[in-house]
Amino acid sequence: MSTALVTGATSGICWAIAQELASAGHHVLALGRNPAALGRIGALAGVTPIAVDLTDAEAVARALHGHDPEILVNNAGVVPSPGPFAASIAAETDHAIAVNLTAQIALTRAVLPGMLARGRGHVFFTGSVAAQSPAANMAVYSATKAGLSAFARALREEVRGKGVRVTEIVAGRVQTDLYRSDLTEAQRAALYEGGTAVQPEDVAHMVRVVPDLPDSAEISRFEIIPTRSGAAVPMAEAAR
């Protein structure tokens, strides 16, 4: 049984990915910080929840001890409070960079040597349309996702032909709890009204099938967006 490591276990996307990979026969390590969410995801067969702060390098190293994942899904991410960058809070900016970019690079560094040694592995990064189409009031978030996209592209070139594949997930509007603290219930209802959002299960299905492609093929980047447009909500349109 191969092992898959999925970060951001407090989100709907991670829940769906963990369930999908576990149903495909992988042993899933689900990393997150929210004890309640970890308890729920740990109830899934084939899923082992691990409470850890991804920005704590030593804690992550302890959590990974004895594990050698063949699949890494860098899904964890945060959205700083939207607004003009000139009025942004430095601590929020630093935290977003630490979670969205620095921690994901560090985790990949920890897992990649094992993949290269066995000549097999797959690394996913959850990007955003904000990396390619940045919007006002989302400068830091857009910058972290653009940096992650560039890192994924460069890493793919480094490991090409070594049995390790790298895929960037670029999701449009996904129905999750990501905006619960930034939008009112009415805004969230309008945002997702009429089936105008990608479901976490849609993303999870892609994560499940992409690693099963023959060795001769690689999905470098896939965009997954709603088939129908919904209400425009400032700040949310640029974020995943």
Q: What confidence score (pLDDT) does residue 146 get?
A: 97
Give residue-wise pLDDT tens across range 152-200. 999 999 999 999 999 999 987 665 555 555 555 555 555 555 556 788 8
Name the residue with higher pLDDT: 127 or 232.
127
Which of the following is catalytic: 141, 151, 179, 192? 141
Domains of the chain: 3-224 (3.40.50.720)
Is 141 one of the catalytic residues?
A: yes
What distance in Å separates the CA atoms of residue 237 and residue 240, rounded to the nearest whole number?
8
- Strand bridging mode 221-224 / 3-7: unpaired
Residue 183 has a pLDDT of 53
Residue 204 above 50 pLDDT? yes
Q: What is the mean pLDDT of residues 9-23?
A: 88
Contacts of 44 (CB under 8 A, 6+ apart): 18, 19, 22, 28
* SS3 (DSSP) at 189: helix
In the prediction, which pLDDT does 195 show? Answer: 57
- pLDDT of 170 reads 93
Q: Please report the pLDDT score of residue 12 as a whole number.
A: 82
Report the predicted TM-score, pTM, of the whole model to 2 decimal places: 0.87
Distance (Å, whole) CA 168 – CA 157: 13
